[in-house]
């Protein structure tokens, strides 16, 4: 019995609330179908991934061995062995290059790992919900809240896989920044008013207090005046004549 048939029987036996009784078909159409889809994608990708990886690995081993045999003494080698080794090496190199190119072109390794991971995540989420374990262990029965949480978890797993497959382009939810003209205009008017008040303060507005005036710079000391020279009195000569 495959997974879809097994889980479909389990869903039919779930004890959902009466208003959610019809939602069992939604679980089958969404959850079971998603698991089946990713299992097919995984198996399909796995087949080509294993074939190309086998060619790359085997060719990488055989090519050096063939080239090393060509270095032996030609006298000891069979006839036309050089031609055989040349075309063999050329064919193996071409197959290895093509196989590796297909692996990179179709991202087979990445898709195989991604699909395998999604399948296991979906199955784990389903078994936790059916058994009311893990994140659902706080619920006694399969209530409406548990059903909503399960559907949300399944959609989150699906969304993350799609975003990863398309290089995250689906997660472009950043809003574009818009220009707030009214807010910028208000800020500009407040700044202009503030600058106007500053200019009035510098012109001597008495209503607005000013800061302390700067201290006057000290004046340079006057140069000292030269001292007057002392004058010695001149004594007139005595006249010895009696006249």
**What's 112-166 look like in SS3?**
HHHHHHHHHHHHHHHHHHHHCCHHHCCCCCCCHHHHHHHHHHHHHHHHHHHHHHC
Query: At a CB cut-off of 8 Å and minimum separation 6, what does 165 contact?
Result: 111, 114
Give residue 243's pLDDT. Answer: 42
Rounded-to-integer distance, Cα 185 and Cα 166, Å: 42
Mean pLDDT over all residues of the chain?
80
Q: For helices 108-131 and 144-165, give the axis angle rounded to 10 degrees.
A: 180
Give residue 170's pLDDT. Answer: 47
Q: Which of 45-54, 108-117, 134-143, 161-170 has the lowest mean pLDDT?
A: 161-170
Quickly count: other Cβ atoms within 10 Å of residue 81's Cβ: 14
Query: At a CB cut-off of 8 Å and minimum separation 6, what does 171 contact?
Result: 163
Q: What is the pLDDT of residues 100-129, one digit of tens each?
A: 999 999 989 999 999 999 999 999 999 999
Radius of gyration from C-alpha coordinates of the chain: 49
Cβ 14 vs Cβ 24: under 8 Å: yes
Cβ 18 vs Cβ 143: under 8 Å: no
Q: What is the pLDDT of residues 156-179, one digit of tens each?
A: 999 999 888 886 554 454 455 666
Query: At a CB cut-off of 8 Å and minimum separation 6, what does 118 contact?
Result: 38, 157, 158, 161
Rounded-to-integer distance, Cα 170 and Cα 148, Å: 23
Q: What is the pLDDT of residues 214-243, one digit of tens each?
A: 555 556 555 555 555 544 555 555 555 544
Rounded-to-integer distance, Cα 110 and Cα 164, Å: 10
**pLDDT over 70 for what percent of the chain?**
72
3-class DSSP state of 15: coil
Instruction: Please determine, for residue 189, whether its predicted confidence score (pLDDT) is greater than 70.
Output: yes
Quickly count: other Cβ atoms within 10 Å of residue 174's Cβ: 6
Give residue 206's pLDDT. Answer: 47
């Amino acid at each position: 019995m495959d997974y879809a048939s097994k889980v479909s029987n389990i869903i039919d036996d779930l004890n959902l609330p009466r208003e959610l009784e019809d939602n069992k078909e939604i679980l089958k159409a969404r959850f079971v179908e998603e698991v089946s889809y990713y299992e097919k994608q995984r198996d399909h990708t796995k087949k080509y991934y294993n074939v190309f990886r086998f060619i790359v690995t085997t060719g990488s081993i055989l090519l050096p061995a063939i080239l090393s045999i060509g270095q032996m003494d030609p006298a000891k080698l069979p006839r036309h062995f050089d031609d055989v080794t040349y075309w063999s090496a050329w064919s193996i190199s071409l197959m290895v290059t093509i196989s590796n190119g297909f692996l990179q072109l179709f991202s087979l390794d990445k898709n195989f790992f991604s699909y395998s991971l999604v399948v296991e995540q979906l199955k784990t989420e389903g078994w936790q919900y059916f058994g009311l374990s893990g994140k659902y262990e706080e619920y006694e029965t399969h209530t409406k809240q548990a059903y909503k949480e399960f559907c949300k978890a399944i959609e989150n797993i699906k969304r993350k896989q799609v975003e990863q497959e398309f290089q995250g382009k689906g997660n472009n939810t950043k809003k574009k920044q818009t220009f707030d003209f009214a807010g910028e205009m208000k800020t500009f008017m407040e700044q202009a008013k503030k600058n106007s008040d500053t200019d009035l303060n510098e012109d001597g507005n008495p209503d607005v207090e000013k800061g302390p005036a700067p201290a006057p710079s000290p004046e340079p000391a006057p140069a000292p005046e030269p001292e007057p020279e002392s004058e010695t009195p001149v004594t007139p000569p005595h006249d010895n004549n009696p006249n």
